[in-house]
Structure 1
């Protein structure tokens, strides 16, 4: 890939760069506070690369949780990626050998960029998408390492630092809402979550809410695609 691809991808990923550096630093600080050094932060961010999953992993490591518990909680937290994957089937179809990495690197923030970013004229979409995914991953690793080093050298009180992930989700949601004129998926997501909260409570709402979202979004896929096409033509 030439420099123009990386330059274009870097411009698109600036918001993720800022967010990932801060929440990556927060993760590194939490991990260091739990007694695990910067190497743990580096390798977890390279191989796991799941912000909410890694935040959860800090407490699981500290408590000595069983492998079965880790697997179940990871599935619960990352079940939403099933929805992401279904909507990326066409975009990843021509990725070739990069396809496995694209699947691995499909975080919430990368998904948001791949869903909304326009490929520059004369540039192959597969190169542009791969550059976005790889840059986002590098931002997360760098932030985690900085946090681990800062925690080891300076020492921090990490109380409340885990809210950084929630704050980033709120920013992404707001940006998606403002940049899109089709708010049906967002309304479906919010509605399913609220109904699930009322029916099963805050401790069990995730899977029922995500299941309902998948059913509704798949059922409305044709109408949503036509709406997006009309909006694209209007632009």
Structure 2
């Protein structure tokens, strides 16, 4: 899967004192003509609140939000969390519903960004019984979901992709791929004028500094050309927390 294309330019408008929404565009005429690409960048906050309606799911099992809520309910019931009532867990057990893993992957396959991000840290209960082929498949799927989430504008996915290749988390370490995502993040974070959590910015800065110290110029230059080739002077990016 090719790295997602992201376009950005200078900030010209900022809504909200907390900088929760930032609009990028070189000029309004470009926006009116539609001669640009719009991407929504967002920090997807995990909401532990369970909003699962069993009857609603039974009536419409293909609804992606309801499928994701089923995953959360299954997860809470397995862990014995008080976020899912014993009665709900018993009711779920009485029906032939998708498992925790099945509901998570179903939602992620349908492009549910929270599910895709959740999969990144998900360890199947039967992980120790999986074959190496099945483990490799899970790792590949994790990358595919992160790339899809980043293509949808998830800053968490961008950060996770850079760290994944930097540290070799479940994949072979690839400093060039890490550098691509880290430099992309550096530019995006800088453009967002403090709207990104400092922990993300600080860790990304450390990765960029390390990578620029260990990679030779001839290695960095093609990556930088690819990063900067994504620039488009007539573009608009939205960031919403």
Give the TM-score taking structure 1 as reference length.
Answer: 0.26
Query: Which structure's CA Rg is the greater one?
Result: 2
Greater helix content: 1
Give the TM-score taking structure 2 as reference length.
Answer: 0.25
Greater strand content: 2
